[in-house]
Amino acid sequence: MSQLDVDWKTVFATDIPLLETVVRGSVIYLAVFFLLRLSLRRTAGELTMLDFVFVLLAASAGADAMTGGSTSISNSIVLVATIVAWNYSLNSLGYFVPFIERLVSPSPLQVIRNGKVIRKNMRREFVTTEELHMQLREEGVENVEDVKAAFIEGDGNISVIPFQEGERPARRES
């Protein structure tokens, strides 16, 4: 066989049983998801945790077949389909089952309350004062004292609720 001849049977033949591919994909998806879920909220950036896991694993799953590695195209397609199924299932379950929603989407963590920084919560998520101030500036807020509440959301972004006109508590003179 010359270099241009391709044995198409080996390209599409499965090198491991399809059920093993589904089990491996399921175990890896769930393991990566739970490890990331236990890590920082900021890990995922603007993607939801499920989206991040999906993109990471889908890209990895198809890589071997695209680069001519030992995994066949058929196995890669089954693996990507398994990952898509888990992603869809967890998103759907999260929508319909509140317990699953709390599991897959971390609840917001308050980092400012009535103009005061909650340092314990900032330490918990490794958010520095500089990062917090940067987020406040991006929201058009100059001082922490001008913030009624700020939260690190489940997707890692910080949402800011400034005091409205006349709503701010009186400052004590020291």
For residue range 92-103, list pLDDT tens digits in order: 998 999 998 888
The helix, strand and coil proportions of the chain, stated in percent and rounded to the nearest 5, come to 55, 10, 35
Higher pLDDT, 154 or 122: 122
Beta bridge partners of 173: none
Domain parsing of the chain, residue ranges: 8-104, 109-162
Domain 109-162 has CATH 3.40.30.10: no
CA distance 75 to 125: 38
Q: Which of 163, 165, 39 is nearest to 106 (CA)?
A: 39
pLDDT band, very low/low/confident/very high, at 171 (cuts 50, 70, 90): low
- The pLDDT value recorded for residue 141 is 93
Q: Give the number of other CB atoms < 10 A from CB of residue 70.
A: 9
CA distance 41 to 156: 5
pLDDT band, very low/low/confident/very high, at 162 (cuts 50, 70, 90): very high
